[in-house]
Amino acid sequence: MWLNEQQISDPAVSAYRQSLLSSCPNHVVIDGLFDQVKLNQVISALQQDHAWQTQKHTYSALYVDETQWQQASKEERFVQRDLWSPDKINLTDNTAKAFLLYLRSDEFMGYLSTIFKVPLTDKNVAQPSINTNYFRLGSKDFVELHADDSPGRVVCMLLYLNKAWPTDSGGELVFKAKQDKGVRIAPLYNRCLLFDPSSEGSEHWVEKLSADNTHNYRYNVTSWYWSE
């Protein structure tokens, strides 16, 4: 079982729902949601450098090639990070792939539905698999201010996979929130962040890694979900 039982009880779900509705943006942070032993296996698979490829987005177009990237101004570039590409490696342990499949399973989407009180489904999503994957940020990478409020998208999930993340080393996700008071989420191990991308103040960015953290990568899973 991927989920920790104490985190999916009715009282726990009720508390998550209350936190979601009372925050700006509408979000909830759940620490220790997933089974740690299985996540350790996932982390092991992510350590292979040749399994990653660079992903770049501009405000004008997503998944741009190098020519488009060079033609775009610095202000237009809002994402540079690595995307996990399991087809590039020969995995002896398929736990990492299995986890991505689980995050799009009826069981997990049903769990999210109980928190957000909205039915989630992939029946209208052309390529569900590209909406759930592992990402990593290095010292030269960045995720600038943007919104995730695509039509029909109602839940965004991030799960952080960084053991013993150094304090003051950067990598926090920062919500714009409201009244110039940002909400900062540290990328701690087995910390799950759920938020409504259409809620007020949900625009966000990621703090760049500090100069003292140049040899580390910031790992996470990102997953987006749609309603009917």
Secondary structure of 24-60 in HEC code, one letter for each residue: CCCEEEEECCECHHHHHHHHHHHCCHHHEEEEEEECC
**Per-residue pLDDT at 48:** 86
What local confidence, expressed as pLDDT, does residue 50 receive? 87
Give the pLDDT confidence score for residue 90 in this predicted structure. Answer: 65
For the chain, the residue count is 228
Query: Distance between the two ends of the chain, CA-based, in angstroms?
Result: 27
pTM for the full predicted model: 0.95
Contact 78, 57 (CB under 8 A): yes
pLDDT at 49: 87
pLDDT at residue 106, as a whole number: 96
pLDDT of residue 184: 96
Ranges of residues in the chain with a pLDDT under 50 are none
pLDDT value for 1: 86
Amino acid at position 87, single letter: D
Q: What is the pLDDT of residue 88?
A: 64
